[in-house]
Amino acid sequence: MKKIEQEETALINIERNPLVLIIGMLLSALFIYITYTTIFIKEAFDVKPMGFFLFVPTLFVCFQTLWFALHPYGLIYHDRFEIKKSFFQLKQWYFIDIKKVGDLKKKSFIITYNDDEMERIKLIGIKHSHKKIMQEAFTKQVNLSLQQRLN
């Protein structure tokens, strides 16, 4: 018998700032234009060899922009919290490890772990209206986890 894996759904999706997407798209368009003009428009004897090195940065920037468009900034599940700043900066916290969530500052808030170690969660790239929603949901889930641990 085949086991069916259930996909876990997020309680709250935290959106990315549209300015990040726009900058990514403009940067992708610029790299595509430069790569196209240095390699494909010219005759074979006019092509500069350095133009071929533009393929890798162009692919990287285009892939990162596509990744920004397809993935939300943060996801809150019933047992953990994930932040996806970029393709290379993925981080997740489990609510069972956290004791306290600090107040929201301009660009960050501080969490305190069970061993009284503190960590700052930076909110660069998040939609402005979702900063408070994220901090409140994070606090709510940590408080629920604390209640479950105490019972």
Is the Cβ–Cβ distance between 81 and 51 less than 8 Å? no
- Per-residue pLDDT of 63-94, as tens digits, reads 999 999 999 988 888 888 888 888 888 888 88
- What tens digit of pLDDT does each residue of 9-18 get? 888 888 899 9
Domain boundaries, the chain: 12-70, 93-150
The token pair that represents 89 in the structure block: 């900066």
Q: How many CB atoms lie within 10 A of CB 13?
A: 13
Mean pLDDT of the chain: 85
The number of beta carbons lying within 10 Å of the beta carbon of residue 145 is 19
Rounded Cα–Cα distance for residues 99 and 29 (Å): 45
- pTM for the model stands at 0.78
User: CA angle 56-122-132, nearest 5°?
Assistant: 125
Please state, in angstroms and rounded to a whole number, the distance separating the CA atoms of residues 38 and 40.
Answer: 6
Contact yes or no for 149/99 (Cβ under 8 A): no
- What is the pLDDT, as a whole number, of residue 1? 61
